[in-house]
Structure 1
Amino acid sequence: MNLLQNLRTLLFYLALCLSAVVWCVASILVGPFLSFRGRYRFVAQRWCRAAVWLARTIVGIDYRISGLEQVPERPCVILANHQSTWETFFLTAQFEPMTQVLKRELLHVPCFGWAIRLLKPIAIDRDNPKEALRQVASQGLERLQQGVWVLIFPEGTRAPVGEPGKFSRSGAALAASAGVPVLPIAHNAGSFWPRLGWKKHPGTIDVVIGPPMWLEGEGPRAVAALNQRAEAWVQAQVRELEAQLPAPRS
């Protein structure tokens, strides 16, 4: 069974890489001639849907989502826990159009990085956190005013299952300055798509969308309180989801 699953995982990566090359080349050729919304659908959304489909079809990673009724009509700041690559694919496919905060180095990856540039990402320098915060605040506000969802993984990097990272306040601060809520999202993708290594485990990822959370009050303390509420909700949901799963797999 393990050998069969390993072969499926290898096939998945081959299919994903091949689709990425084809999609990136097509995006670079076609993307500049499309509107931003059309570009998002063509460059990001369709390929990410394909990636989620490949994961389900080849390695058996399915998903179920609850709380869709919580999603507000107008774009806001999405705060999600980060355990794997899967949630990046899924959330990019789910919300449209959307931009996200990512490390600047990704823009330099041949083909892939060139395609990402077409989507107006908020590409930050992690070695300069003060400048990164200013960049998230200014560019994030601009994107929200343009009707674009902003995805932030406030833990900053992928965290091991059972070891959540502390939430940065950048998402809460952006929501406060833009006058929009934060939308907390929790999932247990890391239990099926580990953050390290190449192995994949079949099963069903649970994605839970929480209630929009608004700033209550004014000033830095109110922003900190909003961030703490979002962090507490996400971490409580993740603990509950992980507790429902069998013992961790190696």
Structure 2
Amino acid sequence: MGVLFTLRVIVFYTLLGLSALIWSVVGLLAAPFLSFPARYRFINVYWCRFAVQLGKYLLGLHYRVAGAENIPSERCVILAKHQSTWETFFLSAYFQPLSQVLKKELLRVPFFGWTMALLKPIALDRSNPKQALKQLATKGAQRLEQDCWVLIFPEGTRVPVGQIGKFSRGGAALAVNANLPVLPIAHNAGMFWPKEGWGKKSGVIDVVIGPTMYAEGEGPRAIAELNQRAFEWVAQTQFELGALDAQAWQEIKAQAAK
């Protein structure tokens, strides 16, 4: 990064941090007087849009969306690629209201975590995987019944550009048990906002919303098949976006052909 762009990054993070603190305090004070939809818009949508726009104008992080016509009228389970912080901001504002699966430890962060707790997240204890799956099934079903989108990053963590992690079956299981589809989403945000470090790169982030996918049947086999189908679609789209290495994609295709 050049000196000027480095200064822009510093200004970006400074404004992002200050805005998060101010928004959190105001959100905590206003929350008792707002309905959940209004609270979600005020706290999450407006701030996440601010964060995305801040990145656009300060760092040149533009974006374009393909496949918006695939978004169903009913709420469902979103299975999104996780590469960066950017997609967390973007998806939280694009789909509303949205309940995101996250680590319960995040809710303990002063102000920011307390505010997140007001947005009906699905907070999981990842130190106990079996208990986490039960929590996802129970809380996820509740959020879907409350007419919320449920966002799951099935890799469980941000995975560097060029790679893709194994998809947990929790999201597919939630969709199958609720008799709802999954909506896969791929993107290349990590090419411009990497997982590690403060470095950024100006450019256009491509977000691709895939077709809704329904399970073919019921039970564990149907869950596994749906999960694999979503994984392969995301992997192929990541490859087409230049965000998955050719060797990794060839290995996935070879495995699928067996």
Instruction: Report the TM-score range of the alignment, normalised by the length of the smaller protein.
Output: over 0.9
TM alignment of 1:80-95, pairs within 5 A: 80-95=80-95
**Matching residue of 2:137:** 137
Verify the 8 A CA contact 2:188 2:243 in the aligned structure 1: no
Give me the whole-angstrom Cα distance separating, in 2, the residues matched to 1:180 and 1:243.
29
Alignment of 1:37-52 (within 5 A): 37-52=37-52
* Structure 1 residues 243 and 139, CA gap change in structure 2 (3 angstroms): closer
TM-score under structure 1 length normalisation = 0.96
Runs of 4+ in 1 over 6 A off after TM superposition: none
**Shift in Å, 1:186:** 0.3
**Structure 2 residue matching 1:206: 3-state secondary structure:** strand
Q: Match for residue 70 of structure 2?
A: 70
| 2:219 is aligned with 1:236 | no
Give the corresponding residue for 1:248: none
2:108 match:
108
Q: Secondary structure at the match of 2:131?
A: helix
Give the RMSD, CA atoms, in angstroms: 1.3
**Match in the other structure for 1:58:** 58
Q: CA deviation at 1:190?
A: 0.3
For 1:98-130, what per-residue CA distance to the aligned partner results, in whole angstroms no more than 9, with x for missing partners? 101000110010000010010011101111110
Q: Is the 1:32–1:118 Cα contact (8 Å) retained in structure 2?
A: no
Q: How does 1:102-181 map to 2 (within 5 A)?
A: 102-181=102-181
Unaligned runs of 5+ in 2: 245-258
Please state whether the residue corresponding to 1:99 is helix, strand or coil. Answer: strand
| Aligned AA (1:201) | K
Amino acid at match of 2:55: A
Matched position secondary structure for 1:242: coil
Which segments of 5 or more consecutive residues in structure 1 lack a partner in the other structure?
245-250
Shift of residue 243, structure 1, vs aligned partner: 6.2
Counting matched residue pairs gives 245
Shift of 1:141: 0.4
CA contact (8 A) 1:40 1:119 kept: yes
Aligned partner of 2:251 in structure 1 is none
The match for 2:255 is: none
TM-score (norm 2): 0.93
CA shift, 1:33, in A, is 1.7
